[in-house]
Amino acid sequence: MILLLDLCYERETLSKYEFVYPIADTLKRAGARFEIQHFTQADERKQEEYSKIILCGTALKDNAYSKRLDLFSWLKTCEKPVLGICAGMQVIGSVFGGCMVSQMAIGLETLEILAATPLLGEPRQIQVYHLHNFGVTMPEGFLLAAGSAAFVKAFRHREKPIYGIIFHPEVRNRWVLERFLKL
């Protein structure tokens, strides 16, 4: 069972239809079982029931999750696969010592994958969709997978199966979510 963490500012917002349900739809089509929880209700003890965790994105003006990073401290000891999408990447980066930075991007962009990862595959260029006001600096213990030191687009933990991507695979690259299922 996969846990989808809704990072929207409050439960049952319209943003859930844009940022959580499309991910759920991709998982459902792939035959995966999942449960959706709002990040303020995620029970750290209950997380042991899940095989994988996805931290979903949020709307442009929504950064309420960044004021409750204490709710994500469990990431430091997590050993199961975790994928942070947009706001989820910002959470992962911040928990591991990176900083959120102003970095607006909206629309399609060519992304250069710099290093092979089980999530993104071999180095190459792909088209991705961005919708964010913030990026994150490179956290300690992570490797850059796409982007640059100034504009981190994707990273992975050196030892754990924890990944962050700033783009939205539910819009343009659903194959990323399907690859995550196979980790």
Nearest to 134 by CA among 168, 181, 87: 87
Q: Which of the following is catalytic: 86, 130, 132, 157? A: 86
Percent of the chain past pLDDT 70, that is, above it, reads 98
Q: What average pLDDT score do residues 79-106 get?
A: 96
Residue-range definition of the domain harbouring residue 52: 2-181
Residue 12's pLDDT band (boundaries 50, 70, 90)? confident
Q: What is the mean pLDDT of residues 99-123?
A: 96
Between 40-54, 136-150, 168-182, the lowest mean confidence (pLDDT) is in 40-54
CATH number at residue 46: 3.40.50.880
Q: Which two tokens stand for residue 51?
A: 């095989």
Find the helix or strand (DSSP H, E) in which 83 lies: strand 82-85
170 burial via Cβ count (<10 Å: 0-12, 13-18, 19+): buried
Per the structure block, which two tokens stand in for 45? 């003890």
Q: Would you state the structure tokens that stand for residue 24, as one six-digit string?
A: 């759920």
Mind spelling out the 3-state secondary structure of 29-80? Answer: HCCCCEEEEECCCCCCCHHHHCCEEEECCCCCCCCHHHHCHHHHHHHHHCCC
Q: What is the per-residue pLDDT for 114?
A: 97
Average per-residue pLDDT in the chain? 94
168 is catalytic: yes
pLDDT for the residue 48 = 77
Catalytic residue among 130, 132, 157, 168: 168
The per-residue pLDDT for range 13-71, each reduced to its tens digit, is 878 999 999 999 999 999 999 999 999 987 666 677 899 999 999 988 888 999 999 99
Catalytic-residue membership of 157 = no
Is 86 marked active-site? Answer: yes
Number of domains comprising the chain: 1
CA distance 32 to 26: 9
Average pLDDT over residues 140-146: 97
The stretch 170-182 carries a mean pLDDT of 96
Beta carbons of 166 and 86 less than 8 angstroms apart? yes
Least confident of 33-47, 90-104, 140-154: 33-47
Residue closest to 59 by CA, chosen among 27, 16, 108: 16
